[in-house]
Amino acid sequence: MTKQTPFHAFFVFLHPDLAQMNSIRHIIFFIAACAISIGPQAQEYDNKASVDSLMAKAQNAESLKLTDLARQYYEQAVALGPDTDKPYVSLGKLIEHEEHYVKAIRLFNQAIAHNSNSSEAYEHLAYCLTETENYDQAEQAAQKAIELNPQSASAMASMALVFNSRGSNTNAQTWAKRAIETDPKNSRSYNVAGIIQYNRGNDTEAIAQFKKAIATDPDNIDAYANIGTMFCIRNNFESALIYLKKGLQKEPKSIKLVYCMGWAYRLKGDRARAIQCYETIIGYDSLYVKAYNRLGEIYNDKADYDRSIAYHKKATRIAPNDPNGFKGMGKTYSDKGDYPKALHSYQKAVLINDKDHETYCLMAELYQRQGNSQRETNSYKKAAKLGNKKAQQWLVRRGATW
């Protein structure tokens, strides 16, 4: 019997028929065939190992508060096209924390595509959808999260916001109470309860709930933003700025906190600092439409009409289906005395949203400046039908109905 090398013997063990092969060529072909057959499995194993390694590195970076590094690792893990939901959920949560909700929504939907039973993905998806005011979709996501995890207090809080957006105070309060009872340590539930109390006109209780949210979780940025907003509404700008600055100590790049601070400075009459806040936001997110519109309004107040129009135009290019850019542009053109362009802008705004009674009032004021009393009256009637008190009073004084 011919003595075989150990290498040759290994393949004889794997494949007895190899003993019948009498040429090196056959051995090479066989090795190649084996390599081809195990190639995809090896690649799959390598990808999984790489994803697991990147996830571990990302989680470690997050624990050390190295957010930028963590994001890089998560993005690399997602780029490998993993067949699990976890990298998408982890990156989505990080992006959500940075208040880039549209991007986070895409990631949570990708996570759900890989695992339709991920209650965590649905829970965070519901939160992001409420933040972008997509309440119908938020309701579906929250219901699914609760179906998968009946103890999801955050999903219950999302349901409360859905009903609050529809003016259903009883259902909103029921869901908020249920969220708090399910998990008294869930800070978001108190924050949502505060929003509901504010909409009911109970400002004192709203502030108390926001303070509870902060006491439960001192890092709850939403609560700092909301309590700052409440103090702004009360014209207590100093208290508003104190809470907003406290929040920024926790999260220095929070867009919503800087946005609220800009509003506080603007109401206080400090336009320069307000402008600085909104420009800072654009530096964080160049597609943040609200910042462009607020800048447009401030420059209109300063009678810098060309700069105001430029900011509103930028807003309409970023979000052509958002009426606020056209509405703001119409106001600036009107103040500038360019009534045809003002009217054209308002008409674009109502084509996007014909339920905005304020725009009809602005159109009425424009027609009044032009001396067109019939169209002025018609515009006020449209606003009055939508519940605008100013328009209703204007028509009553003239003995008109709507």
Q: Let me know how long the chain is.
A: 402
DSSP 279-329: HHHHHH-TT-HHHHHHHHHHHHHTT-HHHHHHHHHHHHHH-TT-HHHHHHH
195-238 tens-digit pLDDT = 999 999 999 999 999 999 999 999 999 999 999 999 999 899 99
Expressed in angstroms, the distance from the first to the final Cα of the chain is 109
The answer to whether residue 45 scores a pLDDT higher than 50 is no
Please, what is the angle between helix 389-397 and helix 357-370, to 10°? Answer: 40
- The crossing angle, in degrees rounded to 10, of helices 119-131 and 101-114 is 160
Interval 306-363: pLDDT, tens: 999 999 999 999 999 999 999 999 999 999 999 999 999 999 999 999 999 999 999 9
pLDDT at site 83: 84
| pLDDT value at 7 more than 70 | no
**How does pLDDT run across 261-314, given as a tens digit for each residue?**
999 999 999 999 999 999 999 999 999 999 999 999 999 999 999 999 999 999
- Assign 48 a pLDDT band (cuts: 50, 70, 90): confident
- Per-residue pLDDT reduced to its tens digit, 115-137: 999 999 999 999 999 999 999 99
Q: Give residue for tokens 């946005």.
A: 259
In this structure, what DSSP letter does residue 17 have? G
Question: pTM score, two decimals?
Answer: 0.79
49 pLDDT tier (thresholds 50, 70, 90) = confident
- Residues 142-171: what's their mean pLDDT? 96
Mean pLDDT of 242-247: 96
What does the radius of gyration of the chain's CA atoms come to, in whole angstroms?
Answer: 30
pLDDT tens digits along 73-113: 999 999 998 889 999 999 999 999 999 999 999 999 999 99
CA distance 139 to 164: 12
Band of pLDDT at residue 47, cut at 50, 70 and 90: low
Average pLDDT, the chain: 89
What does the pLDDT average to over 362-372? Answer: 94
pLDDT of residue 33: 47
Q: Tell me if residue 45 falls in helix, strand or coil.
A: helix
- What is the enclosing helix (H) or strand (E) of 143? helix 135-148
Query: Domains of the chain by range and CATH?
Result: 50-142 (1.25.40.10), 151-207 (1.25.40.10)
Best CA proximity match to 402, nearest among 393, 365, 53, 10 = 393
